[in-house]
Structure 1
Amino acid sequence: MSFPWSYSVLGLVPGLILTVFVAAVVLYTSLVLWEFCLRHPEVRDVCDIGQMLFWNKKWAWWATAVMFILNNTFIQGLHVLVGAKYLNTMTESDHVSCRTVSYSIVVAILCWICSLPRTFSMLSKLGTASAVFTFISVLLATIFAGIQAHPAGYDPRPSYTTPAGAAAVGGNPIVTAFPVAGTTFVSGLNAFLNISYTFIGQITLPSFIAEMRDPREFPKALWACTIAEIIVFSVVGAVVYAYVGNQYMTAPAFGSLDPVYKKVAFSFMIPTLIFLGVLYASVSARFVFFRIFQNSRHKNEHTVTGWGTWALILLATWIVAFIIAEVIPFFSDLLSLMSSLFDSFFGFVFWGVAYFRMRKADGGLALLKQGNVVGYIMAALNVAIIVIGFFFLTAGTYASVQAIVDEFRSGAVGGVFSCASNGL
């Protein structure tokens, strides 16, 4: 539901082009990752890959592990933030002391409790249900955007002054094919990072490939998933944007719907708000837990020490997630920051480097010296992928941080750990 906002910033044509571009790059890098995993069946997770890519040094494993844990914890923080948004949206008229902080604590505690089971068997079933509910939620939001008389916040006046004294644009929704005049580098790059974040998920693929009966079948699932993503993300983003326009767009786009429609569509996201945060917390906790008790009976037996350690690891991740949600209380900016900090490596740099490592093993770099045209093209493509990754890390991080600073300066929230409602 961040795609409509991204299209409102980038314009519909660049937004759709960038959607397909990011999907294509992620598809290609995922195939590179798959080839690397087939060559190295001993790989268990992205940390093992990180160590192998960077000269088989232990520091590379630890650096990747830190980014892996931080990435997962930031995602948990995003779910704490959106969970608080949901509760604020549903109870806006009720008196609650220190609303957003209180709701964030409630969401964090609920997610901590739900993440206590140590097996993946139940999580797999919950994941299927979560995907179904998410699809219903997004489908309803798209339909409601089309059938509602006007977007939320609609004002028939072409221009007016808000009660706070700010100039505002009203009238019928304005939909533009290209960015409007005055669109800044920071806002445009943030919108692009929002699109990228939704597609980039290579960090989880090594674990999935390792669990497949026949890893050679992976490309079929990858192609099906990519095609479905392009269709769903593009259609939802374009349709909602077409009916909401630039003036009334929110992130996530549920806030652009009439109150009843907003609450109905948003409510179907509850399973996902809880499940995805729980999934990433469980992945992080398993990663740490299995290394603490690698050769111990606490790893597989029900012991007080084992369960106590498991619960404390999870609690620590949810406390950090709560802090992240309160320090960066902006949905789109938090997405952008995660994309720039972590997707730069896990979405681009790692797989460009993996390509060259495999070609070196094949003798492909020697072929380049002999003037192989296809080799030059593929080398240039993967150099470009690495450069894009470092662009995300540098310019992307700058744009994300600057956008957060601008949000605070504009008074969008009262500050960190704000009691004010962050409802849609």
Structure 2
Amino acid sequence: MVESETTSKQDFSADDDRETDLESAYLRILSQQIVSEQGHSIKYRTCSWQKTAALLFSEYICLAILSVPWSFSILGMVPGILVTLSVAVTVQYTSLVLWKFCMKHPEALNICDIGRILGGDSQMIYNFTAVMFIMNNVFIMGLHCLVGAKLLNTLSDDALCTISFSAISAGVCFFCSLPRTLKQMSWLGIFSAATMGISVVLSMIFAAVQDVPRGFSGEPPLVTTLPAKGTTYVLGMSAFLNITYTLIGQITLPSFIAEMKEPKDFPKALWACTICEVILFTLCGGIMYHYIGSQYMIAPAYGSLQPLFKKIAFSFAIPTITYLGALYASLSARFIFFRIFEHSHHRYSNTITGWSVWASIIACLWIVAFIIAELIPFFSDLLSLMSSLFGKY
């Protein structure tokens, strides 16, 4: 018995020593990163947890929320709510696991570094992860080119210049992508999340108060508890993927954590965002589906509102359409930029070379995003494709 107690105490002592060693290594690497930025005009480890929360809100409280009512119309009310809640719980759990991993490996500055660590320091896995990371982000940028064009068409009542409107959206997003730190982007994120929240709330109110949904044919809105008879597997999976992709965002979390002053505070930002998004997603999907019905539902759900209501609600989404695409462009550009200037003063300084390369990278990314938007010009199809390609959680 005495020997067993002694062994147990030694095990606890060994665990404590390991935790102390990990914490010491974490603090050492974190302090090295902060010290390396001192004396430079551009510093990256500057985000508080509140600013990180703003980045998370701007990422999750986005236009894709308005695709959730369409998913509910395919899955039915009960499965729609259950899928939303179950995916949100899974995403929250995996996000916390990812945060704990980043705490043990503060040298991991993005998802690609994590891929390399998990792959036994394999450069091939790092490169594969990098390609998928950039493709995911560029597809999201393409989605925002597409939605920006839809917005301009809606507000101008001119459906003749969709390609031109997509190009205009890409150009505006390009200029919003130019800030080089996430701290600078977070201020825009607060405004973006607030206006998008207003847009979603207005959409729910307008769906309830309008006399009939847009395109009303005389048949009362059809609302089902379960999927309607005849719903195909492909259609049901597309609806599931729409919800899934809207809630998934872990690919960006290491990049956010890497720019926090105190990464240990990240769960505060994560919980605040998750609670709000679950409430907003469930209410938006359920309320708009209840008043619009399956036969009049369009993704995004703005299309099911009467023209005046649609214009009012859609106009509040302008900051989100612009900002969120810019955020993903910034994350992609930052990864490429850091690879080019890994050990160069251009990384931390306001030099002509640094800013020229930064602007060129962003311009190339938005050109590719514009091409994607023109090749796949349908909102729900592009959202489902992105989820099936990149939405692994």
Query: Per-residue deviation at 1:311?
Result: 1.7
CA distance in structure 1 between the aligned counterparts of 2:264 and 2:133, rounded to whole angstroms: 26
Report the counterpart of residue 297 of structure 1 in structure 2. 345
2:86 to 2, 21, 35: 21
Query: Per-residue deviation at 1:213?
Result: 4.2
Q: Unaligned stretches of 5+ in structure 1?
A: 157-170, 348-424
CA distance in structure 2 between the aligned counterparts of 1:232 and 1:107, rounded to whole angstroms: 26
Report the counterpart of residue 272 of structure 2 in structure 1. 224
1:243 to 283, 286, 291: 291
Establish whether residue 134 from structure 1 lines up as the match of residue 199 from structure 2: no
SS at match of 1:42: coil
CA distance in structure 2 between the aligned counterparts of 1:260 and 1:25, rounded to whole angstroms: 38
Q: How does 1:1-400 map to 2 (within 5 A)?
A: 1-92=66-157, 94=158, 98-156=160-218, 171-344=219-392, 347=393
SS at match of 2:258: helix
Deviation digits for residues 360-413 of structure 1, max 9, x if unmatched?
Answer: xxxxxxxxxxxxxxxxxxxxxxxxxxxxxxxxxxxxxxxxxxxxxxxxxxxxxx
Deviation digits for residues 190-248 of structure 1, max 9, x if unmatched?
Answer: 10000001111111212333344443333343233222221110011100000000111
Q: Unaligned stretches of 5+ in structure 2?
A: 1-65
Query: TM-score scaled to structure 1, two decimals?
Result: 0.75
Amino acid at match of 2:317: M
Amino acid at match of 1:55: G
Query: Per-residue deviation at 1:315?
Result: 1.1
Query: Per-residue deviation at 1:340?
Result: 1.1
Q: What is the Cα-based RMSD across aligned positions, in Å?
A: 1.5
Give the percent of matched residue pairs that are identical in Structure 1 and Structure 2: 59
Query: Per-residue deviation at 1:341?
Result: 0.8
SS at match of 1:236: helix
CA distance in structure 2 between the aligned counterparts of 1:88 and 1:211, rounded to whole angstroms: 37
Question: How many residue pairs get matched?
Answer: 328
CA distance in structure 1 between the aligned counterparts of 2:287 and 2:302, rounded to whole angstroms: 13
Report the counterpart of residue 409 of structure 1 in structure 2. none
CA distance in structure 2 between the aligned counterparts of 1:215 and 1:283, rounded to whole angstroms: 18
- CA 1:50–1:231 in structure 2 vs 1: closer, same or farther (change >3 Å)? same
SS at match of 1:60: helix
Report the counterpart of residue 23 of structure 2 in structure 1. none
Query: Per-residue deviation at 1:117?
Result: 3.1
- CA 1:122–1:214 in structure 2 vs 1: closer, same or farther (change >3 Å)? closer
- CA 1:296–1:211 in structure 2 vs 1: closer, same or farther (change >3 Å)? closer
Query: Per-residue deviation at 1:187?
Result: 0.7
Report the counterpart of residue 10 of structure 2 in structure 1. none
